[in-house]
Amino acid sequence: MSGAANQGVVDVAAVLLTVGRERAARLLAHFEAEEVTMLSRQTDNLASLTQNHLNSVAQSFEQAFANGTGLLNPARSFTDILNETRADVLSPEEEVVPALPEPQNPWEKIALLDDQQIADYLSQELPVTSACVLSKLPPAKSAKVLKLFDPDLRGAAVRMMLDVKASQRMEDMLAERLTSELGDAPSPEAETGNWKAVASIINCFDEEDGNALTEQLKSATDEQTYDAVVGAIFRFDDIASLEADACTKLCGTVGNDLLTKALRDADDAISNALLSTLSPRARRMVESELETGAVPKEEEIADARRAIAQTALDMAAEGEITLPERS
């Protein structure tokens, strides 16, 4: 076999890897025995494929798929269609147009799957597949899955994430694979009932009363639900534990007016964490307002702090920042 022909076989094997085990098996059922044998000899060659080459193969496959094979015999094809059409076909007035389903981001559904379920699945895939999937999940979710990886696989996946650049069609194919092969089973977090509502209520209490409520829950509910509630608790005082990058993003979202109210009589650690992320001019304005501006009511200060804490929770849910873990 010539070099070009052999490379073509390698590329076919690479495409089969990309579409997943189940679809690859269905496709291979249409191959000749000799072709399957040729593919089985490419195992060693697949290990040396670079990410750039995989991207190139994927793009070539997508282009060929988009262009189609064309009609080999248009007249014959149309005649077959007419012959197969029933004479009593519905008239246009009788046709029922089905309602289009509501669009839904499949990665949001995948992010609800159990961490261990995703980790077990990806551990059987190539690092490039793991990298593509993890890059589409919220950072906090990806981190939980990566912690379950073998250290070597974890390192390979993270290194691959720096270089991976999957096309939209490739991402869609991966998403379809995961949802079809792993199903829509929700994670334990999604099965804990009203824990989000409970956590939101606790977040509205001051720290002392909130901690008392949380302690009562510990003995009144199962560990899974308790952990879910505790993981969703975030108060204004917790901002001091945020990473600097997260603080910067949070301050850029909430605005200086809300920030100024919330920082009134705040602990030095929280004030320093937030003020250090502002530009020199913005910091001077906030500090000046704190020193000479009108003192807001206690309720306004509490509302501002709860609003900032809730914003941090919303940003974490969107994967924009990572909140510190509570012990």
Q: Model confidence over 134-159: pLDDT tens digits?
A: 888 888 788 888 888 888 888 888 88
Query: What pLDDT is attached to residue 146?
Result: 86
Residue 96 has pLDDT above 50, yes or no: no
Q: Which of 15-29, 71-85, 211-225, 267-281 shows the lowest per-residue confidence on average (mean pLDDT)?
A: 71-85
Q: How many whole angstroms separate alpha carbon 127 and alpha carbon 123?
A: 8
Provide the token pair at 110.
């995948």
pLDDT in tens, 16-27: 766 666 676 677
pLDDT in tens, 238-263: 888 888 888 889 988 988 889 999 99
The tokens 């949802």 sit on which residue? 179
**By the 8 A CB rule, do 10 and 49 touch?**
yes
Residue 32 has pLDDT above 80, yes or no: no
Query: What pLDDT is attached to residue 261?
Result: 92
Q: How confident is the model at residue 77 (pLDDT cuts 50, 70, 90)?
A: very low
Q: Which runs of consecutive H residues, i.e. helices, occur in 193-255?
A: 195-203, 207-220, 223-231, 244-254
Q: How confident is the model at residue 46 (pLDDT cuts 50, 70, 90)?
A: low
Helix 168-182, helix 115-122: angle, nearest 10: 110
Q: Which of 82-86, 275-279, 311-315 shows the lowest per-residue confidence on average (mean pLDDT)?
A: 82-86
pLDDT in tens, 151-196: 888 888 888 877 767 778 778 888 888 878 877 555 444 444 566 7
Look at residues 253, 125, 128, 223 and name the one whose alpha carbon lies nearest to residue 178: 125
Domains defined for the chain, CATH in brackets: 3-57 (no CATH), 106-188 (1.10.220.30), 195-317 (1.10.220.30)
Rounded-to-10 torsion of CA 236, 241, 245, 251: 20
**By the 8 A CB rule, do 46 and 4 touch?**
no
Q: How confident is the model at residue 264 (pLDDT cuts 50, 70, 90)?
A: very high
Residue 8 has pLDDT above 50, yes or no: yes
Query: What pLDDT is attached to residue 44?
Result: 60
Query: What pLDDT is attached to residue 48?
Result: 63
- Torsions phi, psi of 50, nearest 5? -90, 165
DSSP summary character for residue 91: P
Look at residues 43, 38, 50 and name the one whose alpha carbon lies nearest to residue 6: 38
Query: What pLDDT is attached to residue 17?
Result: 67
Q: How many whole angstroms separate alpha carbon 151 and alpha carbon 148?
A: 9
Query: What pLDDT is attached to residue 187?
Result: 46
Bigger pLDDT: 3 or 258? 258
**By the 8 A CB rule, do 203 and 93 touch?**
no
Instruction: Find all residues with CB under 8 Å of 173, minimum gap 6, and list them.
Output: 18, 19
